[in-house]
Structure 1
Amino acid sequence: MLSITPADALIDVPRRIAVDGLAPGEEIEVVSCTLRGPGVPWRAAARFVADASGTVDLQRDAPVSGSYDGVSAMGLVWSQVPDTPGAREPFGAEPGAALRTDITVLRADGAVLQGGFVQRLAGKGVTRREVREDGLVGTLYLPAGPGPHPAVMILNGSGGGINEPRAALYASHGYAAFALAYFKAPGLSDYISATKLEYFETALAWLHRTVQPARGFVALSGQSRGGELVLLLGTLFPESVSAVIGYVPGAVVHCAQNACDPALGREGPAWIFRGQPLPHVWEHNRTATWAPWDEGPEPRRHAAALLTALQDPDAVERARIRVERIRGPVMLLSATDDGSWPSSLYSRMVTERLAQFGHPHAVTHLDFEGAGHSILFPYVPTTQLGYAHLVSGRRSTTGGTPAHNAHADEASWQGVLRFLSDSWRHHP
């Protein structure tokens, strides 16, 4: 008998996959398959040996061979690889859609057991609303119940677009979640270049006015360039921001880089505020060079070029984000093998500056050993380390290993939920 529990739950809930009634010492193969993105099958497989009672339990047993090593209840999810080479989208084609994973057990005598489970991004009663007002482009997910609810605004990185999966999951945990696009979405620029920060001022005002969050609590959650951005917004609009969550964030203002408008170039400004470009780390930098990125060995690591820019202390100081102006708790999630930029170093720079200025609120830094740039949330595939950038098309690696990235996905999300709960509980 194949049992999978729970069969239908949120995506961040681990499942118990077990097979009973086998012969002691019997070897079986367990195969997973999930349709992701535009209907691309992603698969993983592993072989297990039944214990003396004829049971295989993936929460307890390590495979003897297969797609992953060691004990991992959800190893057959995070170790999946796509049938179509280069596919990267781990979610469904429809925004916030649930994912079904089919599990097949193959026995040596040819017998087949089949089952499956559903991973939901949006829990029961969560609602979705497209936002196209005040010049904003985004999607609002609201939890079940009348509210008011504490709120989170979610910002993507240099790939642009609207991060609906994370917003749906935040809403499933009780937060009014506003996934806001700022480029590469309908009606917006295709590039990060010269993004006006007043756009986010408008978004924060809209969120406070329209959602009316409980006790005025609005956290910012951003990833990569979005991580840089949420720290920056916390300094520019501190009265509107209650807490900041930076996934693999930057500690300095960067130029447009890979998401640039080709007409303006990668050293052109990313951020414009009150009509003026913000000073960025590549500007008047005496040590910065793109050579480690442009000419480096495959797989190329964008972080190698950014490290050259950090060798000019004057340029770093001019571009440093003044995080001491943030008026709330700060959480940083970083990775020691980040191939996109040095998020571990950047996060330490932020925590050191907050300590230097005696930041009166909680500061949490989770630094994941051996993980790479792509820290998401639990139980999605972590195998696609190389990729072509969504804007520039240039190929690079995010770094890390599938197993380390899977651990970072799980532990980071648990940490974020604790951080938000604590921040909300202590918010005046």
Structure 2
Amino acid sequence: MSNEILSVTPADALIDEPRAIRVEGLAPAQRITIQAQTERAGSVMWRSQAEFVADAQGVVDLSSQAPLTGSYEGVSPMGLLWSQVPEKEGQREMFANTVSQPLVTTISALTSTQTLTATLTQHLMADGVQRIEVREDGLVGTLFLPATPGPHPAVMILNGSGGGINEPRGALYASRGYIAFALGYFKAPGLSDYISNTPLEYFKKGLDWLRRTQQPLGGFVALSGQSRGGELVLLLGSIYPQDVSAVVAYVPGAVVHSGQNAADPQVGREGPAWLLDGKPLTHVWQDNKTATWAPFDEGPSPHRHARAIMTALQDSDAVARARIEVEKIQGPVILLSATDDGAWPSSLYSKMVYDHLHEVGFAHVVQWVDTQDGGHSIVFPYVPTTQLVYAHPVSGKINTGGGTPTANAQSDEHTWAAVKDFLRNAVRAHLAREQ
């Protein structure tokens, strides 16, 4: 009888939990192939595989051993997850059809005598987390409430230029103990299909609603946003400083931008994205002497939007006029960026914010996590990072977010760890000030 055993520990946990994948009982130096397959949104199967050689004890342990060949290189305990590719070309949705539905991955180890199988289950929503659709006060979003007794601190989550409602991030924040309000502001039911002329008062209404209806712990409400949402959370923190307890800015902008790829065609991509008191905010493309879309429009495919943004940043006067006044923020800030961001220069933008806050003697914590060779898409750990080229959800233009699968997987892992620590410390400091 064979003593070969395949194990996944823990087999069933939240999506951001690392797992130990091991095969034991092999012959020393025996070669095996380990495969992973996961059904994701739209019933699309994603697959990966790698070949390993057993150590002197007859063990293959992905936590300490690199594959000989396969879908990824180097030691990566969860490499079989982040290196998966979809069977259907162009598929990018990495979660299940609903956030309450877990992702179930079948791990198969093909040895010389048999095929061993085990299951790895990833949840976005912990047991007992509540999902509540919000359609009131003109707001369109989804509220997630932790399973544990409150009161809890809160986070309001804002998406980027793809629009919609970021339910996966909301579900995971709630699973980690936060009241999470994923607020849509375009490309969501009953809202515009475009980012153009979005009133910032809408987000103030969201902050007020969240505090009034959920009464978060100590009144703590953080903002979390990525890409255009990263620009937006810095902007909101500067305009409504009394209402924002902390800012989590994923791949943010340091300046106000125009509508860009998410613009209403009738307004144009050089038209305003944000309104305040009914008036457009000055953005970096406005009266800009150096800005041109040509490096993006005419550059090699896949197109890198960042190339056009860099032309706009050459006009120092336009940059100064459009700069987000981040020094007005009255809470801690964390910036998550990457050096090979294809959408816009998030690493440079984060440096601009970080340096300015230090220059003015900002009174709160400022953290900056920058991933070398990483790209624009920073999510959370143990999801596929292989689909770098995509059609923009609004403009349809073929873009690359940049980075490599390996660097993006590393970015997902260490940025999420940093965000969890940042928020934990921010809540602690906020409550200490409230006493």
Tell whether the structures are fold-level matches, with TM greater than 0.5: yes
Look up the match of 2:88.
84
SS at match of 2:368: strand
Number of aligned positions between the proteins = 427
Aligned CA RMSD, in angstroms, stands at 0.7
Between the aligned partners of 2:325 and 2:356, the Cα distance in structure 1 is 8
For 1:95-106, what aligned pairs fall within 5 Å after superposition? 95-106=99-110
Look up the match of 1:135.
138
Look up the match of 1:298.
301
1:282 matches 2:282: no
1:197 matches 2:203: no
Look up the match of 2:21.
17
SS at match of 1:132: strand
1:312 matches 2:326: no
Shift of 1:96: 3.9
Q: Does the 8 A contact of 2:99 with 2:124 survive in 1?
A: no
Shift of 1:237: 0.8
For 1:105-184, what aligned pairs fall within 5 Å after superposition? 105-109=109-113, 111-184=114-187
Q: Does the 8 A contact of 2:389 with 2:399 survive in 1?
A: yes
Between the aligned partners of 2:331 and 2:345, the Cα distance in structure 1 is 24
Once the two structures are superposed, residues 22-64 of structure 1 have per-residue CA deviations (whole angstroms, 9 ceiling, x without a partner) of 1111111100001111111000000001111111111111100
Which runs of 5 or more residues in structure 1 are unaligned? Answer: none
Between the aligned partners of 2:216 and 2:28, the Cα distance in structure 1 is 57
Look up the match of 2:189.
186
Between the aligned partners of 2:243 and 2:401, the Cα distance in structure 1 is 33
Look up the match of 1:225.
228
Look up the match of 1:4.
8
Q: Does the 8 A contact of 1:385 with 1:399 survive in 2?
A: yes
SS at match of 1:46: strand
Look up the match of 2:380.
377
Q: Does the 8 A contact of 1:152 with 1:175 survive in 2?
A: yes
Shift of 1:423: 0.4
- What amino acid does structure 2 have at the position aligned with 1:338? D
Describe the shift of the 1:346–1:199 C-alpha distance in structure 2 as closer, same or farther (beyond 3 A).
Answer: same
Once the two structures are superposed, residues 93-125 of structure 1 have per-residue CA deviations (whole angstroms, 9 ceiling, x without a partner) of 11342111111111234x111111110111122
Shift of 1:415: 0.1
Between the aligned partners of 1:270 and 1:193, the Cα distance in structure 2 is 4
Look up the match of 2:34.
30
SS at match of 2:296: helix
Shift of 1:21: 1.0
Between the aligned partners of 1:285 and 1:108, the Cα distance in structure 2 is 65
Between the aligned partners of 1:332 and 1:85, the Cα distance in structure 2 is 33
Between the aligned partners of 2:41 and 2:236, the Cα distance in structure 1 is 31
SS at match of 1:255: coil
Look up the match of 1:325.
328
Q: Which of the residues 32, 50, 57 maps onto 2:54?
A: 50
Q: Which of the residues 74, 80, 99 maps onto 2:78?
A: 74
Look up the match of 2:354.
351
Q: Does the 8 A contact of 2:337 with 2:369 survive in 1?
A: yes
SS at match of 2:42: coil
- Which portions of structure 1, spanning 4 or more consecutive aligned residues, are displaced by more than 3 angstroms? none
Look up the match of 1:253.
256
Once the two structures are superposed, residues 140-161 of structure 1 have per-residue CA deviations (whole angstroms, 9 ceiling, x without a partner) of 1111223110000000000000
SS at match of 1:410: helix
Once the two structures are superposed, residues 338-377 of structure 1 have per-residue CA deviations (whole angstroms, 9 ceiling, x without a partner) of 0000000000111122122211000000010010000100
Q: Does the 8 A contact of 1:96 with 1:164 survive in 2?
A: no
SS at match of 1:250: coil
- What amino acid does structure 2 have at the position aligned with 1:78? W
Q: Does the 8 A contact of 1:96 with 1:165 survive in 2?
A: no
Between the aligned partners of 2:175 and 2:101, the Cα distance in structure 1 is 13
Q: Does the 8 A contact of 2:246 with 2:426 survive in 1?
A: yes
Which runs of 5 or more residues in structure 2 are unaligned? Answer: none
- What amino acid does structure 1 have at the position aligned with 2:72? Y
Bigger shift: 131-140 or 88-97?
A: 88-97
Describe the shift of the 1:190–1:160 C-alpha distance in structure 2 as closer, same or farther (beyond 3 A).
Answer: same
Look up the match of 1:394.
397
